[in-house]
């Protein structure tokens, strides 16, 4: 859509979040709020996205976003002032302009399509929703003609006033509306801020008209504090679970499975209760994920078996049919097809081939206090229980490591390596010990 520019406001102080992390970087389903908003914006295929930031947010964060142009709002003087950061561009533009807030993460592209459907340069379209209970959203006041007369922020209303049509913050108009009307917005209100919402009253007095499009609160909710963030997380988790249940994933107790917005799960995967799936995890079909497993930034192959109590950390790549059992941690390592690490093991910075058996209590000692080193264990090797594999080291194909060994030298293919002292036995010891 070459004639569409989207403005995303992300420069607010986020005071209500009470956090040292900027509000728009608070995560929902493992993904920052701003990314949720940008994902919805990108679905409309706009010509460009003007992202308004404050000085605490580096534009480096968005360097891979081709459509995004960053603008800085110097002082946080309100939402109208934020739009002024890109006003010089708007003055040159003949595009339709869609305004979105970065703290509104669930908005659907179909809803946005209804909002950008404006028929005349005089028309403004505003996304609204109805809510009976008391809330902090701006309230929309309609005129007798059905068009918006004004929006009044909740804090500017007296407690007796009661309106139920709420402002989502999302609206679309011709670029000219901004160049003509934005400079007219004043800050004579309780917060001494320039409210973008004042543009609707000024518009109605200047020959423009604003129509409302109704949406659902669930989709429009704005996230201002940790409580709202938690409520949004709950909604997102439920919708992610439903999405995967529909796709043929079995969850024994869906309410106890935590997913991320970018999680990928194939058909016939079974997830037992109490599993955490963080960012960037893909699970291929037929895999079993048992209870209390914690997975992040990892790949799980077909028909593999994970947990219970497994921890897959970033870079864990578990091949088809492999097994990672209880109290096993895998980081930045590949476990080849059909290989098994069934009990109490740490595998870090390792490449493990096919059909390898890693015995209980095996540790890859990857860190010497300064650097991380690599372990290579080739196909069909058998690592006896309670072995320390001291990297850098390579263990050849079909070789064996005797239990309890501390292996620091390479082991050739087909060999047996044992590193432990000979067993000593003192006969009749108990008889000699004085009681
Ligand atoms: C705003 C609306 C309110 C609406 C609600 C919907 C105004 C004045 N009020 O209220 O009518 O019901 O959103 O969610 O617009 N921001 C800046 N610079 C600033 C201030 C804010 O870029 O100086 C950004 C914030 O980062 C945020 C967005 O604008 O993404 C909205 O600001 P916020 O303070 O959250 O407004 P609300 O009080 O939620
Ligand atoms: Ca908000």
Mark whether 254 and 206 lie in a shared domain. no
pLDDT at 393: 98
Mark whether 52 and 192 lie in a shared domain. yes
How much is the pTM? 0.92
Neighbours of 300 (CB within 10 A): 30
Mark whether 193 and 256 lie in a shared domain. no
Q: For residue 154, which atom of ligand 1 is closest to its CA?
A: 11
Residue 432 included in any domain? no
Which of 188, 203, 220 is the C-terminal boundary of a domain? 220
pLDDT at 189: 95
Low-confidence ranges of the chain (pLDDT < 50): none
Q: Which residue range forms the structural domain that includes residue 355?
A: 226-417
CB 302, CB 285: distance < 8 Å:
yes
Ligand closest to Cα of 129 equals 1
Mark whether 47 and 130 lie in a shared domain. yes
Ligand closest to Cα of 131 equals 1
pLDDT at 289: 99
Mark whether 208 and 237 lie in a shared domain. no
Question: Could you tell me which residues come within 8 angstroms of residue 395 by beta carbon, excluding any fewer than 6 positions away?
Answer: 375, 376, 377, 378, 381, 383, 389, 401, 407, 410, 411, 417
pLDDT at 433: 85
pLDDT at 255: 98
pLDDT at 333: 98
Helix (H) or strand (E) holding 176: helix 175-181
Residue nearest to atom 1 of ligand 1 (CA): 169
Residue 431 included in any domain? no
Question: What is the DSSP-derived secondary structure letter of residue 47?
Answer: S
Mark whether 237 and 124 lie in a shared domain. no
Residue 58 included in any domain? yes
pLDDT at 373: 98
pLDDT at 131: 96
Closest residue by Cα to residue 127 from 95, 80, 98, 169: 169
pLDDT at 157: 94
Which residue among 32, 131, 169 is best mutated to probe the pocket of ligand 1, counting the most ligand atoms within 8 A of its Cβ?
A: 169
Mark whether 152 and 279 lie in a shared domain. no
pLDDT at 4: 98
Residue 186 included in any domain? yes
Residue 202 included in any domain? yes
CB 116, CB 125: distance < 8 Å:
yes
Mark whether 164 and 257 lie in a shared domain. no
Which of 220, 243, 268 is the C-terminal boundary of a domain? 220
Neighbours of 194 (CB within 10 A): 21
Question: Could you tell me which residues come within 8 angstroms of residue 197 by beta carbon, excluding any fewer than 6 positions away?
Answer: 79, 138, 151, 152, 153, 167
Residue 428 included in any domain? no
CB 158, CB 80: distance < 8 Å:
no
Distance CA(156)–CA(78), nearest Å, equals 15
| Ligand 1 and 17: CB distance under 6 A | no
Mark whether 105 and 242 lie in a shared domain. no
Q: Could you tell me the distance, in angstroms and rounded to a whole number, from the CA of residue 286 to the centre of ligand 2?
A: 42
Distance CA(166)–CA(132), nearest Å, equals 10
Which residue among 17, 55, 101 is best mutated to probe the pocket of ligand 1, counting the most ligand atoms within 8 A of its Cβ?
A: 101
Which of 200, 220, 240 is the C-terminal boundary of a domain? 220
Q: For residue 136, which atom of ligand 1 is closest to its CA?
A: 12
Mark whether 196 and 272 lie in a shared domain. no
pLDDT at 158: 87
């Amino acid at each position: 859509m070459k004639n569409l520019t989207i403005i995303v406001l992300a420069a607010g102080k986020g005071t209500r979040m009470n956090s040292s992390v900027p509000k728009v970087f608070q995560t929902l389903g493992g993904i920052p709020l701003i990314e949720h908003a940008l994902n919805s914006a990108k679905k409309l295929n706009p010509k460009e996205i003007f992202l308004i930031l404050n000085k605490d947010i580096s534009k480096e964060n968005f360097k891979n976003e081709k459509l995004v142009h960053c603008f800085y709002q110097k002082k946080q003087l309100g939402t109208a002032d934020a739009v002024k950061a890109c006003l010089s561009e708007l003055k040159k533009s003949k595009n339709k302009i869609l305004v979105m807030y970065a703290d509104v993460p669930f908005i659907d592209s179909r809803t946005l399509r209804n909002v950008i459907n404006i028929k005349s340069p005089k028309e403004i379209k505003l996304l609204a929703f109805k809510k009976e209970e008391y809330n902090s959203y701006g309230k929309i006041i309609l005129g007798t003609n059905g068009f918006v007369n004004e929006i009044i922020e909740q804090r500017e209303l007296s407690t007796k006033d009661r309106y139920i049509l709420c402002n989502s913050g999302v609206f679309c108009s011709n670029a000219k509306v901004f160049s003509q009307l934005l400079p007219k917005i004043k800050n004579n209100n309780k917060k001494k801020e320039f409210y973008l919402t004042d543009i609707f009253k000024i518009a109605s007095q200047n020959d423009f008209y604003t129509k409302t499009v109704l949406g659902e609160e669930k989709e429009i909710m704005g996230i201002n504090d940790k409580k709202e963030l938690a409520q949004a997380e709950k909604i997102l988790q439920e919708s992610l679970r439903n999405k995967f249940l529909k796709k043929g994933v079995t969850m024994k107790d869906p309410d106890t499975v935590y997913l991320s917005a970018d999680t990928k799960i194939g058909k016939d995967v079974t997830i037992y209760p109490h599993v955490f799936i963080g960012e960037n995890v893909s699970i291929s079909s037929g895999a079993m994920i048992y209870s209390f497993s914690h997975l992040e930034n990892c790949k799980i192959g077909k028909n593999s078996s994970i947990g219970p109590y497994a921890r897959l950390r970033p870079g864990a790549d578990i091949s088809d049919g492999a097994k990672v059992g209880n109290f096993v941690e895998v980081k930045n390592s590949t476990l080849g097809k059909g290989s098994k690490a069934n009990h109490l093991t740490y595998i870090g910075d390792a490449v493990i081939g096919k059909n390898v058996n890693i015995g209980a209590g095996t540790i890859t000692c990857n860190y010497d206090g300064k650097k991380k080193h690599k372990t290579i264990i080739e196909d069909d090797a058998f690592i006896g229980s309670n072995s320390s594999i001291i990297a850098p080291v390579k263990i050849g194909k079909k070789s064996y490591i005797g239990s309890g060994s501390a292996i620091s030298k390479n082991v050739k293919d087909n060999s047996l390596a044992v590193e432990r002292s000979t067993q000593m036995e003192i006969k009749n010891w108990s008889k000699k010990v004085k009681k």
